[in-house]
Amino acid sequence: MKSYDVVVIGSGTAGQTAAYALEEQGFIVAVIEKSPTPGGTCALYGCQAKKWFYETAEAVSKAKHLQGLGITQPPEWSWEDVLAQKNAFTSKIPDNAVNGLQGVDIDFIPGEARFQDKETLVVNGGTVHAKWFIIASGAEPMPLPIDGAENMITSTGFLGLKELPEKILFVGGGFISFECAHFCAGLGPKDGTVTILEAGPRPLGPFDSEMVELLTEASRDAGIDIRTGVKITSIVKQGDGFKVLTENQGDFQADLVVHGAGRTPDISGLDLEKAGVEFERRGIKVDASMRTSNPRIFAVGDCAATIQLARVADKEAAVCADNIIADRKGAGKAQAMVYDNVPFLLFTYPQYGMVGKTEDALKKEGLKYYKSFGKHVGWPTYRRVGMKHAAYKILVDENNMILGAHILSDNASGLLNLLRTAMMHGVSAGDLHAESLMTPYPSRESDVVYMLKPLIE
């Protein structure tokens, strides 16, 4: 039996963050990884990998919008070249992950782990003991109750395609489908079709309904066919392509069908019951210290019943490590994880992002609020680049403190960073308006002055 201070299950961003933090404090640490390609979903198949496609798709979309405004030739692009650049980046990640861990004397154990009891793992036929365990096993595509679901590829497969076929269909109207669909609209065949089928009444359920409607409009103008309320019954292989049969909206032909209906915690093989770890559909139950129902076992990242975002995972890992350090010192609880004002961003074109409350949530909670809402496509910053879809919604309380911010823009990320910083530091809409007068002008961020103006008049 091997014995460690801490054993981490998973080598993604959360697992590595926790492992390095604890090793620096003198803990004897091991990381167990079942995937043949260590490094985690974000870097290999998710947020980092997808940005290679997004950056090029965004450039192509911008060039298309600028036709008639100085750009005279339609842009040309190569999916194959983008893929090669992405692969050059991701191919180094597994070795870098393993070498990085081993370089600071963290043991790397390839294999699939499962709990034998509350303080022991079984891996590769042997047992591993630890004083503390951190589960950072990530997530996997959600199983779908559709006949022929095996005919779909996942987002991992999509980001590895050597070329884009003419007819692509995405099942599900969430993050994955919208972002990948926009990559297809920007970089796919000029006469290709892109379709999103969503089972619910609208896509992107957690987001502000009014803003989602505007993003949907922008997506349709980009050539993406978005259907809602679709009940898919089966996906049938048909020649070189597929037929997607629905109960209520006819059939759809596609060369490729992509699973974009979300991800679920990858915890089914861990035998958590034997370790006394409670879990639910959303993932492993944790408290604010990231501790599970077993006080010696923590869970961080996409496997926990929290928020599936890479930066959230990193913060959870840091909080978890801090609490394990406090345990060793006998100091009790250390840092607590806080999820207030976590920003969400879709890398579509235009980008859509939010931080804080949606207007739908405020209405449901019966809270009094004021809002500034507008479409700023006519503003000079957007006219110059030919943007046809851009909007904002800022929600404040009676004291003019920002409750929520929602941006549809080619620079939603930058605007959200500014607005979130104000929210985190208790800066009112009035004070932010005054300070924003000194931002570089003209820039997207300087437009915040005009977005906030109705709230201070």
378 assigned to a ligand binding site = no
The per-residue pLDDT for 306 is: 98
Strand order in the sheet with 232-238: 232-238, 241-246, 251-254
Amino acid, single-letter form, for residue 86: K
| Residue of higher predicted confidence among 160 and 437 | 160
| 207 is an annotated ligand-binding site residue | no
Residue 211 pLDDT exceeds 70: yes
The CATH number of domain 149-261, selected from 3.10.20.30, 1.10.1840.10, 3.50.50.60, 1.10.1740.10: 3.50.50.60
* Residue 148 DSSP code: T
Res. 137: pLDDT tops 90: yes
Residues of the chain with CATH 3.30.390.30: 350-456
pTM, two decimal places: 0.96
Q: What is the DSSP string of 343-372?
A: -EEE-SSSEEEEEE--HHHHHHHT---EEE
* Long-range contacts of 66-74, Cβ-Cβ distance < 8 Å, separation of 24 or more: 66/385, 66/386, 67/386, 68/386, 69/384, 69/385, 69/386
Q: Which residue has the tokens 């898919």?
A: 232
Asked if residue 262 belongs to a known ligand binding site, the reply is: yes
- State what percent of residues in the chain have pLDDT above 90: 95
Provide the pLDDT confidence category of residue 262 given band limits of 50, 70 and 90: very high
175 is in an annotated binding site: yes
- The number of C-alpha atoms within 13 Å of 318 and in the hemisphere containing its C-beta is 9
Q: What is the pLDDT of residue 165?
A: 96
pLDDT at residue 176, as a whole number: 97
347 annotated ligand-binding residue = no
Residue 229 clears pLDDT 90, i.e. is over it:
yes
Q: Kindly report, as residue ranges, where domains of CATH 3.50.50.60 are found in the chain.
A: 2-141+264-329, 149-261
Whether 173 has a binding-site annotation, put simply, is yes
Q: Which residue type does 140 have?
A: E
State residue 348's pLDDT score: 98
Q: Is 160 annotated as a binding residue?
A: no
Tell me, what DSSP letter sits at residue 142?
P
**Which pLDDT score, from 0 to 100, does residue 438 have?**
84
48-93, pLDDT tens digit by residue? 999 999 999 999 999 999 999 999 988 899 999 999 999 999 999 9
Fold for 350-456, please state it. Enolase-like; domain 1 (3.30.390)
Q: What is the mean pLDDT of residues 182-187?
A: 95
Task: Tell me if 302 is assigned to a ligand binding site.
Answer: yes
CA pair distance 96, 106, nearest whole angstrom: 13
What is the predicted pLDDT for the residue at 333? 67
Amino acid identity, position 374? G
Q: Give mean pLDDT, residues 369-387.
A: 96
Q: pLDDT category, 404, cuts 50, 70, 90?
A: very high
260, 306, 266: which is closest to 286 by C-alpha? 306
d(CA 271, CA 117): 9
What confidence category does residue 169 fall into, taking pLDDT thresholds of 50, 70 and 90? very high
Among the residue ranges 218-222, 321-325, 402-406, 431-435, the one predicted with the least confidence is: 431-435
Q: How many CA atoms lie within 13 A of 379 on its CB side?
A: 20
Could you tell me what percent of the chain has a pLDDT over 70? 100
Q: What is the rounded distance in angstroms from the CA atom of residue 2 to the CA atom of residue 22?
A: 18
Which amino acid is located at 33 in the chain? Answer: E
- What is the third-level CATH fold of 2-141+264-329? FAD/NAD(P)-binding domain (3.50.50)
Gap between the Cα atoms of 46 and 158, Å rounded: 11
Q: Is 176 annotated as a binding residue?
A: yes
Contact present, 10 and 33 (Cβ < 8 Å): yes
Note the pLDDT of residue 43. Answer: 96
Angle in degrees, 0-180, between the axes of helices 93-103 and 13-24, rounded to the nearest 10: 20
What mean pLDDT is predicted for residues 162-182?
97
Give the containing element (helix H, strand E) for 323: helix 310-329
Q: Given this model, what pLDDT does residue 166 score?
A: 96
Is position 172 annotated in a ligand binding site?
A: yes
CB neighbour burial string for 360-378, b if at least 16 within 10 angstroms, e if fewer: eebeeeeeeeebbeeebbe
Average pLDDT over residues 98-114: 98
